[in-house]
């Protein structure tokens, strides 16, 4: 696809809590990156309202005008949404990102986890430096299918239904194999693990069956299976052995926070919500009410999510200069972290402003590495 105008439209949804803080930092970094790596289409960022706090003042969590802007944009950049005290009558939270995933059919949650040099080794094992895996989370069905449809009977029983479809499982499995193929082309391990609970649930046995059918079409990539409970153990005991995993929505949600903990915390865990037509990029973390407004948030996950956005746009538009900008962000984060900038989240002293300043200051060195 070619770029029809001279810029790319990015719909920016900062959301709530630290979503707003890390997004402001990220927009500074993106603008500095554009100045450092001149050439290639500029990003035109437009900020849109949505989120729990917006709902509290307006009665709308995801206004039509925001949803429409997301549909029309080349990509969506998202902070975090949700606030524990702002809830629907059934007790669930106002979390419009789930509506966005459904509306834009963002079926693959891509959650890469890797070691960053310079950070404290939370596992106290030198092999932690080899952690480099990707969790692919199905995002349009699974247990989350139950959202808004659950049943509470006589204040006595509550039901939420798991839904696994052939089509939904096949497309996310295929997506995972394509991720593995790209990693293989870059000289990395190439194995896709289906993470399920096929020993207990018919829905999960079906997930595994469809995964196996898709695996048979990707002969060059090894495929195996793990039960989700055993995978939680493997993630903690030997995460450096993992490559690409694909799993049901809820399991993926839980395992992705566990995975973030292996490399220091949520502030090191970027993500992308990808569909066939649209994509949204956001840190895997939430709005962190416990630290919001204090300048303590680690913005690295937000920066790395923006790098994932540039990579996705580069591939979609066949524009290598966008890929250069993605590498520039990653390299600047690496340089900043390995030259003594340790985020508060990892036991250091660097708040959001310091991490942002040091990342921007690293850009001139980073450009020499990626050029
Ligand atoms: N993608 C999203 O928008 C998203 C994801 C998860 C949770 N939520 C919402 O966020 C709210 C808070 O949820 P939660 O507390 O369970 O999860 P959370 O991810 O917001 O926070 C979990 C813990 O990690 C810390 N943390 C998270 N991101 C951090 C960062 N960038 N830097 C430093 N520390 C960080 C927090 O301080 C907290 O101790 C809830 O309303 C929840 O629904 C939103
Ligand atoms: C806030 C919540 C709805 C969301 C999810 O469960 O998908 C979050 O935890 C995430 O991981 O993106
Ligand atoms: Mg989560």
User: Tens digit of pLDDT for each residue in 270-318?
Assistant: 999 999 999 999 999 999 999 999 999 999 999 999 999 999 999 999 9
Contact 262 CB / ligand 2 (< 6 Å): no
Question: Collapsing DSSP states into helix, strand and coil, what is residue 200?
Answer: coil
Pocket test for ligand 2, best of 144, 286, 301 (most atoms within 8 A of CB): 286
CB 93 within 8 A of CB 87: yes
Instruction: Please give the Cα distance from 195 to 201 (Å, whole number).
Output: 13
Beta-bridge mates of residue 80: 15
pTM for the predicted model, two decimal places? 0.97
Helix, strand, coil percentages, rounded to 5, for the chain: 45, 20, 35
> What pLDDT score was predicted for residue 2?
47
Contact 98 CB / ligand 2 (< 6 Å): yes
123-262: CATH topology:
Isopropylmalate Dehydrogenase (3.40.718)
Instruction: Please give the Cα distance from 6 to 19 (Å, whole number).
Output: 29
Please choose, from the candidates 118, 113, 128, the residue with its C-alpha nearest in 3D space to the C-alpha of residue 301.
113
Instruction: Name the stretches of the chain with pLDDT < 50.
Output: 1-4
Instruction: Please give the Cα distance from 330 to 211 (Å, whole number).
Output: 32
How many angstroms separate the alpha carbon of residue 242 from the centre of ligand 3?
A: 20
- Residue pointed to by tokens 């500029």: 42
Task: Give pLDDT tens digits for 247-270.
Answer: 999 999 999 999 999 999 999 999
Q: Hey, what are 325's tokens?
A: 């900008």
1-106+275-371 and 123-262 in the same fold: yes
> What pLDDT score was predicted for residue 5?
54
Query: Whose CA is closest to atom 16 on ligand 1?
Result: 286
CA distances from 104 to 69, 101, 276 (A): 12, 6, 9
Beta-bridge mates of residue 162: none
Please choose, from the candidates 111, 82, 94, the residue with its C-alpha nearest in 3D space to the C-alpha of residue 16.
82
Contact 280 CB / ligand 1 (< 6 Å): no
Looking at domain 1-106+275-371, which of 3.30.930.10, 3.40.1550.20, 2.120.10.90, 3.40.718.10 is its CATH number? 3.40.718.10
How many angstroms separate the alpha carbon of residue 359 from the centre of ligand 3?
A: 26
Q: Which atom of ligand 2 is nearest to the CA of 82?
A: 1
> What pLDDT score was predicted for residue 63?
98
How many angstroms separate the alpha carbon of residue 52 from the centre of ligand 1?
A: 14
User: Structural domain boundaries of the chain?
Assistant: 1-106+275-371, 123-262
Pocket test for ligand 2, best of 248, 253, 256, 285 (most atoms within 8 A of CB): 253
Query: Whose CA is closest to atom 15 on ligand 1?
Result: 288
> What pLDDT score was predicted for residue 77?
98
Residue 38 contacts by C-beta under 8 Å, 6 or more apart in sequence? none
Task: Give pLDDT tens digits for 207-231.
Answer: 999 999 999 999 999 999 999 999 9
Sheet holding 191-196, edge to edge: 43-47, 8-15, 75-80, 279-283, 270-274, 108-114, 132-138, 244-247, 191-196, 222-227
> What pLDDT score was predicted for residue 6?
81
> What pLDDT score was predicted for residue 190?
87
């Amino acid at each position: 696809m070619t770029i029809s105008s001279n810029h790319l439209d990015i719909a920016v949804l900062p959301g709530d809590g630290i979503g707003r803080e890390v997004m402001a930092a990220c927009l500074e970094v993106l603008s500095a990156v554009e100045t450092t790596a001149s050439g290639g289409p500029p990003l035109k960022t437009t900020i849109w309202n949505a989120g729990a706090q917006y709902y509290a003042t307006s009665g709308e969590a995801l206004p039509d005008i925001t949803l429409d802007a997301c549909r029309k944009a080349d990509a969506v950049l998202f902070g975090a949404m949700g606030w524990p005290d702002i809830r629907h009558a059934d007790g669930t939270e106002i979390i419009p990102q789930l509506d966005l995933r459904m509306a834009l059919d963002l079926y693959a949650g891509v959650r890469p986890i890797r070691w960053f040099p310079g950070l404290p080794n939370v596992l106290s094992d030198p092999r932690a430096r080899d952690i480099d895996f990707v969790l692919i989370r199905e995002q349009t069905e699974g247990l989350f299918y139950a959202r808004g449809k659950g049943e509470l009977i006589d204040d006595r029983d509550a039901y939420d239904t798991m839904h696994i479809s052939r089509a939904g499982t096949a497309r996310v499995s295929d997506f995972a194999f394509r991720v593995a193929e790209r990693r293989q082309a870059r000289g990395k391990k190439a194995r896709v693990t289906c993470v399920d609970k096929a020993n207990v649930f018919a829905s999960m046995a079906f997930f595994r069956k469809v995964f196996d059918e898709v695996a048979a079409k990707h002969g060059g990539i090894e495929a195996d299976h793990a039960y989700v409970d055993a995978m939680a153990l493997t993630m903690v005991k030997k995460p450096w052995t993992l490559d690409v995993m694909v799993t049901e929505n809820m399991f993926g949600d839980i395992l992705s926070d566990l995975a973030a903990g292996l490399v220091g915390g949520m502030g090191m865990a970027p993500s992308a919500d990808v569909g066939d037509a649209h994509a949204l990029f956001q840190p895997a973390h939430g709005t962190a009410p416990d630290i919001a407004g204090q300048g303590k948030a680690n913005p690295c996950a937000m920066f790395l999510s923006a790098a994932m956005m540039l990579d996705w746009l580069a591939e979609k538009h066949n524009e290598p200069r966008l890929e250069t900008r993605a590498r520039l962000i990653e390299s600047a984060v690496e340089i900043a972290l390995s030259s003594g900038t340790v985020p508060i989240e990892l036991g250091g002293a660097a708040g959001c402003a310091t991490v942002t300043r040091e990342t921007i200051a690293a850009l001139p060195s980073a450009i020499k590495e990626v050029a």
